[in-house]
Chains A and B, each alone.
Chain A
Amino acid sequence: MTLVSAERPLVPRNNLRDLLGATIVLLVGVGCYFVFPDNLAFLTMLLSTALLVMSLDLVTGVGGVATLGHAFIYGAGAYAAGIASVNGVSDPLVLLLIGAAAGTVAGVVSGALILKGHGLSQLVISIALVQLASEGVNKASSITGGSDGLSGLTIGPLFGAFEFDLWGRTAFWLALAIVIVVAIILRRVIRSPFGMICRGIHRDRIRVRAMGATIFLPLLKMYAIAGFVAGLGGALQAVATQVVGLDSISFTTSAEALVMLIFGGTGSVFGALVGTFVFMWFEHVVSAASPFHWLILVGILLIGVVLFAPKGLYGLVAGLLDRRGA
């Protein structure tokens, strides 16, 4: 039986967990930097994907919205940063901000449409939206590069001093810092009164209404925040890899993000990080060998998680920690 400990007050305990998690992420990041110095590009890609999956956690894990269209927002951030870069903006932080802003707008648009549906219609709208965006980006090839994407983005040095070199060191540290800060902020948002309302909406809308709270606006706000984070992630990918491709705004990316989130566990932000890390490392190793075997493996793991570990990897760990009163 799991009892939230009644003796120790919850606030200090949650802050402790945040710090602990952030420290672990930092340590793992530093460790990877030294153990895999030639894989920094992949690790940076992993970190930018983590932002996408954390963003999805807000909407799906916390808010309970079933969406397979979240890459629309991520891709919007990536393309916004990419297009700005091609048109002369070179400061990386400005590019990140542009991406985050584009993501916020895309998030609000997504929310406004997707939240109008329930169940299947919600899912279908989300899929249609990302497909629509994908087609649109493909057709607007004069701006977006179409199926070739945007390439050769020139990124200026970070803070005027740190160049984005071929080894990807600057990009990696920038990405790691952003992910840690965003993770802590999002955990606080989820624990805040606003976060509680959204969690309540996920669990029981009718009870939330009986307390006098509406449904649409809080979820839309959550979509805006999620949009900022995902847009930031997309922009980070553009800045780090200096290319932007159609896959950043695809249905496949949306589906993969959802899979990563489920593997790690929803609603905790740390679960999103764990899921992204584990999934992408596996994919990096296994998929190179055979994409279809990878697909079978993912499928079996998905079925397994649904049947046996619905709380995901982090959920299992957190459950154990709760029981020991950590």
Chain B
Amino acid sequence: MDTYLDVQNLSLSFGGLKVTNDVSLTLKTGSRTALIGPNGAGKTTLINLIAGSYRPHAGQIHLMGQDVTSLSDTERVRLGLIRSFQITRLFPDMSVLDHVALAVLQRDGKTSGMFRSYHGMPDVVAEAMQTLEKLRLGALANHQVALIAYGQQRLLEIAIALVLKPKVLLLDEPGAGIPSSDMDRVVATLDELPPDLAVLLIDHDMDLIRKFARDVIVLSAGTVIFRGTPDKLAVDENVRKAYLGDEI
């Protein structure tokens, strides 16, 4: 099995506060790893470091064997390291199809075209629609993003991430803000992710994690305090302390 993502001894401090403390993790082909931890543990910070939005003070990141530590976030995207956002980041006045089509165009380096709208490029439209159909967003293709339900916006985030053909996918709370009645769509989508894709998932929903994750990493105050399978998680002493405090 290939090592898709190799993170070694990553550290970052803001002021005097160590927000990421010597964190290491590895994702292999087909990994389904959950990253959990109490609020403020530094999970999103870690995602930002891996994705390239933040620069670490120490440590290295290798993607498919290539050292990407000094590469920018956009360069990492082009190498297949894709992330989604905890709070949806979309373009409110563009349509659902626009977003996915733009991602396709950007992926294939076709964004310098100045005279034809992508609607005149049938391959692009077909691939974008296909991805939308997979997430059951096809009917909303021409709807303005600002006007669709939040749950559907979260799914669109995932659609964009998928169409960028990720090798490593970092999902930051894909189910956040979605009412539990709509969660089954998200769960189904996660089930149907390509099997050789390496996925790191942040979430708080323990049901989702038990269904989805084969490995769990627990982060507390920037430090990894547990690595293992979900069933071993429940009985781990350190994890209980981190979540419930030392008194219990």
A contact set with B: CB distance below 8 Å: 1-6, 9-11, 14, 188-189, 191-197, 199-200, 203-204, 206-207, 209-214, 218, 221, 225
Q: Tell me if A3 and B78 are in contact (CB < 8 A).
A: no
In the complex, how many residue pairs between chain A and chain B have their CB atoms under 8 Å apart? Answer: 110
Known A-B contacts A193-B110, A194-B111, A197-B106; A210 and B117 likewise in contact (beta carbons under 8 Å): no
26 A-B residue contacts at CB 8 Å? Answer: A1-B147, A3-B144, A5-B142, A6-B143, A9-B119, A10-B119, A11-B117, A11-B119, A191-B117, A193-B111, A193-B114, A194-B114, A196-B94, A197-B102, A199-B94, A203-B93, A204-B89, A206-B85, A210-B51, A211-B106, A211-B107, A212-B74, A212-B77, A212-B78, A212-B164, A214-B74
Determine the chain A residues whose CB is within 8 A of the CB of B143 once the complex forms.
3-4, 6
Most-contacted residue by chain B among A1, A3, A212, A225 (CB, 10 A): A212
CB-CB nearest 3 A-B residue pairs: A212-B77, A11-B119, A207-B89
- Which residues of chain B in 117-162 are interfacial with respect to chain A, using CB atoms and an 8 Å cutoff? 117-120, 139, 141-144, 147, 160
Cβ of B9 to closest chain A Cβ, rounded Å: 25
Q: Give me 13 other A-B pairs in contact (C-beta within 8 A), A194-B111, A211-B103, A214-B74 excluded.
A: A2-B147, A3-B144, A4-B143, A6-B139, A6-B142, A196-B102, A200-B91, A200-B94, A200-B102, A203-B91, A204-B90, A204-B91, A211-B107
Please measure, in the bound complex, the distance between the C-alpha atom of A196 and the C-alpha atom of B101, giving whole angstroms: 10
Q: Please report the C-alpha to C-alpha distance between residue A6 and residue B95 in the assembled complex, in whole angstroms.
A: 11
State whether the Cβ of B112 lies closer than 8 Å to any Cβ in chain A.
Answer: yes
B215 / chain A contacts, CB cutoff of 8 Å: none
How many Å lie between the Cα of A221 and that of B143 in the bound state? 29
Q: B residues 36-68 with Cβ under 8 Å of A?
A: 51, 53
A193 to B118 alpha-carbon distance, docked (Å): 6
Which residue of A9, A199, A209 is within 8 Å of B91 (Cβ)?
A199
Q: Looking across the interface, which residue of chain A has its beta carbon closest to that of B141?
A: A6
Q: How large is the interface on B (under 10, 10 to 19, 20 to 34, 35 or more residues)?
A: 35 or more
A194 to B106, CA, bound (A): 10
Residues of B contacting A210 in the complex (Cβ-Cβ under 8 angstroms)? 51, 73, 77, 82-83, 85, 89
Q: How far is the CA of A197 from the CA of B147 in the complex (A)?
A: 21
B14 on the interface (CB 8 Å rule)?
no
Contact B117 A3 (CB under 8 A): no
User: Least Cβ distance of A256 to chain B in Å?
Assistant: 27
- Write the chain B residue with the least CB distance to A207: B89
Kindly identify which residue among A3, A14, A200, A209 contacts B147, using a CB–CB cutoff of 8 Å.
Answer: A3
Q: Which of A1, A2, A192, A206 contacts B117 (CB 8 A)?
A: A192
**Chain A residues, CB < 8 A from B141:** 6
**Contacting residues, chain A, for B245 (C-beta < 8 A):** none
Residues of A within 8 A of B112 (CB): 193-194, 221
- CB of B92 within 8 Å of the partner chain: yes
Residues from chain B with Cβ under 8 Å of A9 in the complex: 119
Q: Is the CB of B113 within 8 A of A192?
A: yes
CB B100 to nearest CB in A, in angstroms, measures 10
Q: Which residue of B lies closest to A222 (CB)?
A: B114
Min Cβ gap B179→A in Å is 21
CB of B109 to closest CB in A, whole Å: 9
Smallest CB-CB separation from A212: which chain B residue?
B77
Known interface pairs A207-B90, A209-B73, A210-B83; A192-B106 also in contact (CB < 8 Å):
no
Alpha-carbon separation in the docked complex, A1 to B141 (Å): 16
| Distance, CA A209 to CA B142, complexed state (A) | 23
**Closest chain B residue to A202 by CB distance?**
B91
Chain A residue numbers with a CB within 8 Å of B85 are 206-207, 210
- Judge whether A213 and B144 touch: CB under 8 Å: no
- Of the residues B51, B74, B98, B115, contact of A192 by C-beta under 8 Å: B115
User: Could you tell me the distance between the alpha carbons of A11 and B116 in the complex, rounded to whole angstroms?
Assistant: 10
Chain A residues with CB below 8 A from B93, complex form: 203
Given that A4-B144, A196-B102, A204-B89 are known contacts, is A188 also in contact with B74, CB under 8 Å in the complex?
no
Residue of A nearest to B118 (CB): A193
Chain A residues, Cβ within 8 Å of B119? 9-11
CB contacts (< 8 Å) of A4 on chain B: these are 95, 142-144
Interchain CB contact under 8 A, A211 and B144 = no
Q: Which of B5-38 contact A (CB under 8 A)?
A: none
B105 within 8 A of A: yes
> A199 to B144, alpha carbons, bound, how many Å?
14
Residues of B within 8 A of A194 (CB): 111-114
B73: which A residues are within 8 A, CB to CB? 209-210
Contacts of A11 in B (CB 8 A): 117, 119-120
CB A271 to nearest CB in B, in angstroms, measures 14
Q: Which chain A residues border B147 with CB–CB below 8 Å?
A: 1-3
Q: Closest residue to B108 on the A side, CB-wise? A: A193
Question: Nearest residue in A to B98 (C-beta to C-beta)?
Answer: A196
Nearest B residue (CB) for A203 = B91
Query: How far is it, in angstroms, between the C-alpha of A11 and the C-alpha of B141 when the chains are bound?
Result: 14
